[in-house]
């Protein structure tokens, strides 16, 4: 990709937008703009008829693509003073990655309540798509936001704070309201976390004891390839100091004897430390270390989230589809998420279980299987992860989100000209 240059008149020169992280999307936008300041960003918004914000490129669909131009904020300088800690909050540029925010929090002896499995993703992108970690009492990353700041379709700066009328609609926004520039996040005193991995638990025992397994740690992930042997490959249990050390031997699982990767046979050294060794929160909540390529590398991802009470029914439905799923799958992760009040969050007002699929990069073969998975999970109220590969159903989605029409009205107020619209949003019926 060409480096961005500035022409000396405060106008960013365009470069080729290129591809997303996975390489399955070549952006169709005409150019990528890289403003060097927020004032320049406001000028770009005022002149560009169609625009989408581009984050860390970790979306697997075209949510970040669109006609006209893409804009990236990563050329805007970040001074340490731009990360402002005040009491139990931190105000930070939204284009930073979670892994880039950690040093400032560490220095101040502070922490976030949770992280996603990858620290490589941008704050704005993760929040806008409802991205989450795992834990029956842990909500999505978006719920850590107590204030959101964005430039709307008129180039105006909008600041919404928790408790204000439109706040719950503006956090998980799919990029439809404007370009998010800053987020204020809840923080807490730093703490330590450990994790253990258990292997080869029988699925029948997992289903019978699902609630006990979900409570075995603060964050629990079940990894499976949906093999015919009826075993779940691994169960990862992360737990804060003070939580009892997990032991799943009663389940028929055995403790791993060395570092594991979620994908059996892959190199476990790229993952965060295991074996019950306590360490910094940011070095345990993610599955993968910031200084390595995460997950499989060459992959696609999908995720569907549904009411936790339907977990057993969903597992049975997916086991029935195992012969179709397994040949295309690296790994599937099953995890819980606590409910929240954010209008377009997949965990909106429900105890949630998520089924995350990491696929081989064979999208033409994956899509027909996705159609079968979505058909099987639709009666259970499955909601898609907004940043992953799924087949949009504009007729079904409004019924899954009680505040869907309210979000449409919020969008109309902030972007009546659909400056931030694109084909992806139109496919959702927005």
Count other C-beta atoms under 10 Å from residue 270's C-beta: 17
pLDDT band, residue 347 (cuts 50/70/90): very high
Asked whether residue 393 is assigned to any structural domain, the reply reads no
Report percent pLDDT > 70 for the chain.
95
Measured between alpha carbons, how far is 358 from 333 in angstroms, rounded to an integer? 8
Q: In the predicted model, is pLDDT for residue 86 greater than 80?
A: yes
Residues 201 and 159 in one domain: no
Here the tokens at position 425 are 């949003």
pLDDT for the residue numbered 311: 97
Alpha helix (H) ranges present in 121-217?
123-128, 167-170, 203-208, 210-214
- In this prediction, residues 124-152 reach a mean pLDDT of 96
Q: In the predicted model, is pLDDT for residue 10 greater than 70?
A: no
Please state, in angstroms and as integers, the Cα–Cα distance from residue 37 to each residue in 68, 76, 111, 181, following that order. 20, 5, 28, 11
Which neighbouring-strand residues pair with 279? 193
Model pTM score: 0.94
pLDDT for the residue numbered 290: 76
Residues 145 and 216 in one domain: no
Check which CATH number belongs to the domain holding 137 and give it: 3.30.465.10
Residues 175 and 259 in one domain: no
- The region of weakest confidence among 64-68, 340-344, 374-378, 399-403 is 64-68
Measured between alpha carbons, how far is 175 from 251 in angstroms, rounded to an integer? 43
Asked whether residue 250 is assigned to any structural domain, the reply reads yes
- In this prediction, residues 219-223 reach a mean pLDDT of 97
Q: In the predicted model, is pLDDT for residue 11 greater than 60?
A: no
Asked whether residue 10 is assigned to any structural domain, the reply reads no
pLDDT for the residue numbered 120: 83
Q: Share the mean pLDDT of the chain.
A: 93
Give the model confidence (pLDDT) of 383-412 as tens digits: 999 999 999 999 999 999 999 999 999 999
- In this prediction, residues 146-159 reach a mean pLDDT of 95
Q: In the predicted model, is pLDDT for residue 297 greater than 80?
A: no
pLDDT for the residue numbered 395: 95
Find all residues with CB under 8 Å of 356, minimum gap 6, and list them: 301, 302, 303, 332, 333, 334, 335, 385, 388
Check which CATH number belongs to the domain holding 235 and give it: 3.30.70.2520
Q: In the predicted model, is pLDDT for residue 172 greater than 90?
A: yes
Here the tokens at position 239 are 């737990």
Q: In the predicted model, is pLDDT for residue 7 greater than 50?
A: no
pLDDT band, residue 243 (cuts 50/70/90): very high
Find all residues with CB under 8 Å of 330, minimum gap 6, and list them: 263, 295, 296, 299, 358, 359, 360
Find all residues with CB under 8 Å of 126, minimum gap 6, and list them: 98, 116, 141, 142
Residues 213 and 248 in one domain: yes
Asked whether residue 423 is assigned to any structural domain, the reply reads no
Reduced to 3 states, what is the DSSP secondary structure of residue 419? coil
- Residue 291 structural domain: 192-384
């Amino acid at each position: 990709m060409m480096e961005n240059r500035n022409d000396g008149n405060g106008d960013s020169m365009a470069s080729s937008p290129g591809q997303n992280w996975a390489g399955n999307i070549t952006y169709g936008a005409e150019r990528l703009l890289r403003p060097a300041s927020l004032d320049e960003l406001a000028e770009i918004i005022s002149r560009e008829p169609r625009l989408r914000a581009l984050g860390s490129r970790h979306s697997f669909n075209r949510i970040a693509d669109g006609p006209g131009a893409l804009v990236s904020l990563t050329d805007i300088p970040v001074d340490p003073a731009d990360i402002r800690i005040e009491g139990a909050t931190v105000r930070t540029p939204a284009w930073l990655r979670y892994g880039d925010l950690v040093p400032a929090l560490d220095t101040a002896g502070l922490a976030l309540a949770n992280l996603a499995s990858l620290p490589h993703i941008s704050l704005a992108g993760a929040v806008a798509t409802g991205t989450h970690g795992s834990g029956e009492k842990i909500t999505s990353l978006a719920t850590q936001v107590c204030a959101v700041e964005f430039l709307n379709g008129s180039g105006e700066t909008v600041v919404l704070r928790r408790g204000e009328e439109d706040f719950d609609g503006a956090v998980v926004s799919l990029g439809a309201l404007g370009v998010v520039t800053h987020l204020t996040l809840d923080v807490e005193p730093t703490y330590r976390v450990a994790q253990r991995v258990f292997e080869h638990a029988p699925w029948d025992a997992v289903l019978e004891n699902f609630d006990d397994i979900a409570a075995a740690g603060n964050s629990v992930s079940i990894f499976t390839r949906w093999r015919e042997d009826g075993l779940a490959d691994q169960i990862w249990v992360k737990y804060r100091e003070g939580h009892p050390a997990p032991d799943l031997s009663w389940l028929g699982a055995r403790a791993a004897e060395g570092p594991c990767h979620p994908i059996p046979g892959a190199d476990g050294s790229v993952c965060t430390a295991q074996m019950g060794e306590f360490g910094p929160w940011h070095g345990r909540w993610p599955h993968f270390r910031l200084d390595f390529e995460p997950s499989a590398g060459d992959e696609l991802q999908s995720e569907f989230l549904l009411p936790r009470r339907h977990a057993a029914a969903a597992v049975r439905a997916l086991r029935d589809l195992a012969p179709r799923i397994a040949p295309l799958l690296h790994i599937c992760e099953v995890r819980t998420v606590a409910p929240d009040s954010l209008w377009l969050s997949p965990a909106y007002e429900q105890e949630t279980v998520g089924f995350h699929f990491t696929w081989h990069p064979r999208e033409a073969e994956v899509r027909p299987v996705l159609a079968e998975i979505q058909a099987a999970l639709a009666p259970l109220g499955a909601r898609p992860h907004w940043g992953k590969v799924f087949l949009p159903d504009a007729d079904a989605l409004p019924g899954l989100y009680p505040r869907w029409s309210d979000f449409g009205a919020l969008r109309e107020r902030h972007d009546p000209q659909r400056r931030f619209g694109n084909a992806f949003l139109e496919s959702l019926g927005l």
